[in-house]
Structure 1
Amino acid sequence: MSHPAYAYLDDRVVPWDEARVHVSSVAFKFGTAVFEGIRGYWSPEHEEMFLFRLDDHLERLRFSQAFMRFEAPIEPAVVRRAILEVVRANALREDVHIMATVYVRGPGGPAVSGPVGLAVTAAPRLDIPWGETGCRVQVSSWQRVEDRAMPVRVKCNANYQNGRLAAVQARADGYDTALLLNARGKIAEGPGMCFFMVRDGRALTSTVTSDILESITRATLLELIPTACGIPCVERDLDRSELAAASEAFFCGTAWEVTPIVAIDGLPVGAGVPGPVVRALRAAYFDLVRGASAAHPEWRTPVYGEEAS
Structure 2
Amino acid sequence: MEAHPKFVWFDGAVVPWEQANVHVSTATVLRGANVFEGVRAYWNADERELFIFRNDEHMARLRNSAKIMRMAVPWTKDELTRAQVEVLRANAFEGTVWFRLSLYVGEGEDHIWPPEQVPVGGFILPRLAPHLPRITEGVDTCISTWTRIADTSVPPRVKAGANYHNSRLAVMEARTNGFAGQPILLNERGKVSEGPGACFCMIRDGALITPPVTANILESITRATVLELARDALKLKVEEREIDRTELYVADEGFF
Cα offset, 1:126, TM superposition: 4.2
Q: Which moved more, 1:46-55 or 1:193-202?
A: 46-55
The answer on whether the counterparts of 1:62 and 1:75 sit within 8 Å (CA) in structure 2 is no
Closer, same or farther in 2 for the Cα pair 1:9/1:220, shift >3 Å?
same
The answer on whether the counterparts of 1:6 and 1:86 sit within 8 Å (CA) in structure 2 is yes
In structure 1, the partner of 2:246 is 241
Alignment of 1:207-218 (within 5 A): 207-218=212-223
Cα offset, 1:108, TM superposition: 3.4
> Equivalents in 1 of 2:205, 2:3: separation in Å?
47
Q: Structure 1, residues 205-261: CA drift from partner, whole Å, max 9, x if none?
A: 00011100110000001110134433211100100000111111100xxxxxxxxxx
Aligned pair partner of 2:136 in 132, 139, 142: 132
Closer, same or farther in 2 for the Cα pair 1:243/1:72, shift >3 Å?
closer
- Calculate percent identity across the aligned residue pairs: 44
Alignment of 1:244-263 (within 5 A): 244-251=249-256
The answer on whether the counterparts of 1:62 and 1:73 sit within 8 Å (CA) in structure 2 is no
In structure 1, the partner of 2:63 is 62
In structure 2, the partner of 1:99 is 100
Closer, same or farther in 2 for the Cα pair 1:41/1:72, shift >3 Å?
closer
Runs of at least 5 residues in structure 1 that lack an aligned partner in the other structure: 252-309
State the SS of the aligned residue for 1:168: helix
The answer on whether the counterparts of 1:65 and 1:73 sit within 8 Å (CA) in structure 2 is no
Coordinate RMSD, CA, aligned: 1.4
In structure 1, the partner of 2:81 is 80
TM-score by length of 1: 0.78
Which aligned segments of 4 or more residues in structure 1 are displaced greater than 6 angstroms?
none
> Equivalents in 2 of 1:67, 1:2: separation in Å?
34
> Equivalents in 2 of 1:26, 1:201: separation in Å?
48
State the SS of the aligned residue for 1:131: helix
What code does the residue aligned with 1:249 have? Answer: G
State the SS of the aligned residue for 2:165: helix
> Equivalents in 2 of 1:65, 1:226: separation in Å?
31
The answer on whether the counterparts of 1:139 and 1:179 sit within 8 Å (CA) in structure 2 is yes
What code does the residue aligned with 1:144 have? Answer: R
In structure 1, the partner of 2:167 is 163
Q: Relative contact order (C-alpha < 8 Å, sep 6+): which is higher?
A: 1
Runs of at least 5 residues in structure 2 that lack an aligned partner in the other structure: none
TM-score by length of 2: 0.94
State the SS of the aligned residue for 1:191: coil
Q: Structure 1, residues 98-145: CA drift from partner, whole Å, max 9, x if none?
A: 110000111433x24621001011111143441111111110000001
The answer on whether the counterparts of 2:108 and 2:119 sit within 8 Å (CA) in structure 1 is no
